[in-house]
Amino acid sequence: MNPKIVRGITWTSRILLALAFTAAAFGKLASDPKMVAMFDKVGFGQWFRYFTGLTELSGAILLLIPATAFWGALILVATMAGAIATHLLIIGGSPLAAIVLGVLASFAAYRLRGSATGSAREQTQRQTGVSYSR
C-alpha cells in the first residue's frame, strides 16, 4: 500500500481517537451525572472518575504529538482494556464502544511502534515524511 495513504489513515485514526477520548474525558471531569452514577457502580470512588478522565485526556494529547504518539496510544489501549473488563465484570452493559476504541488505539500503537525510539527530530521525520537537513 502507498506509504502516503497509510500515513493518512494513521493520522486520521489518531485525530478521531483524540477527539473521542477528549470528549469522554470532559464528561468525566465535568461530573456528568451519568458518569458519576457509572463510577458509583464501579465502587472505587469518584477519585477514579477523575483519574480515568485525566488519563484519557493525557493519552489523547500525547497521541497528537509525533514524538509521544506511540506512548499515548499505549495509554489508551490500556485504558480501554480496563473499560472492557469493567463492563464485563462489574457494571454490565455493552463494551462495544470500548472494544472499537481499543482496536483503533491498538492500530495506532502498531503503526507508531517504530517511533518509540530515536530523537524527537527522527520521530517527526518518520511520521510526517518531511526531511530536515542542516
pLDDT recorded at residue 127: 64
pLDDT recorded at residue 134: 56
HEC string of the chain equals: CCHHHHHHHHHHHHHHHHHHHHHHHHHHHCCCHHHHHHHHHHCCCCHHHHHHHHHHHHHHHHHHCCCCHHHHHHHHHHHHHHHHHHHHHHHCCCCHHHHHHHHHHHHHHHHCHHHHCCCHHHHHHHHHCCCCCC
Query: Which residues of the chain are modeled with pLDDT < 70?
Result: 116-127, 131-134
Name 25's Cβ contacts closer than 8 Å, sequence gap at least 6: 53, 54, 56, 57, 60
What distance lies between CA 39 and its chain's CA centroid?
Answer: 20
Q: Are 59 and 78 in contact (CB under 8 A)?
A: no
Over the stretch 26-36, which tens digit does the pLDDT of each residue have? Answer: 999 999 999 99
- Give the domain ranges of the chain: 3-128
pLDDT recorded at residue 101: 97
Over the stretch 61-75, which tens digit does the pLDDT of each residue have? Answer: 999 999 999 999 999
**Distance separating alpha carbons of residues 124 and 49, to the nearest angstrom:** 33
CA-wise closest residue to 126 among 117, 104, 134: 117
